Structure 1
């Protein structure tokens, strides 16, 4: 079994799409669906989406919920973390070695938590 996709809820789809379009630029995740309440980026291995909740209640983030994105290098961890902050994200942990992996944490515009990490230390 492997994870196929991950979805974050959003309360401002337009701003969230801009954030993730810029963040994923050059990362190998391409926008493959942008219709109605959902926008989806993907490649051959993984898909990520933002969506306005189907039940029409406000989106909220889960306490303890986090998406981990494995990238190819320490430089890419650093670059993505810096870029996320430039796009309006908030740091939840600067890039450094944790548990034998180089990782960095951020929250997006809807306060969802994302970790960028690599085992190439």
Structure 2
């Protein structure tokens, strides 16, 4: 079984798109917006999206919900953590060895928690 895709909510599509466009700039992903309420970043075996909720209620982040991205090397983890902060994200854990992975944690502009790991 494979994961099909991950979607996180946003209340500001333009800001979310700018954040993830910049965060994923060196990842070789294609961007697709099938509607004004959803944007995808797509690659081989990779599909991530931000969306305004279909029910038109405010997007909220889930307590305990997190999306993990394998970004490459330790240097990539450091670089992307710093970039996410420059883009307005907030740190939830500086780059460090955690169990078998070197990882860092950030929240995007809507408060969605992301893990960046090697």
TM-score range (shorter-chain normalised) is over 0.9
Residues 1:80 and 2:98 are matched in the alignment: no
Aligned pairs for 1:33-48 (under 5 A) are 33-48=33-48
1:29 CA displacement: 2.1
Q: Report how many aligned residue pairs link the two structures.
A: 118
Moved more, 10-19 or 33-42: 33-42
Match of 1:106 in 2: 106
Q: Which runs of 5+ in 2 are unaligned?
A: none
For the Cα contact (< 8 Å) 1:24–1:30, is it kept in 2?
A: no
Q: TM-score, normalised by structure 2?
A: 0.96
How far, CA to CA, are the matches of 2:114 and 2:99 in structure 1? 17
Residues 1:115 and 2:115 are matched in the alignment: yes
Match of 1:63 in 2: 63
Residues 1:91 and 2:91 are matched in the alignment: yes
Q: TM-score, normalised by structure 1?
A: 0.94
How far, CA to CA, are the matches of 2:107 and 2:20 in structure 1? 12
For the Cα contact (< 8 Å) 1:30–1:41, is it kept in 2?
A: yes
Match of 1:13 in 2: 13
Q: Deviations over 1:10-42 (max 9, x none)?
A: 000111001000110011222133522100001
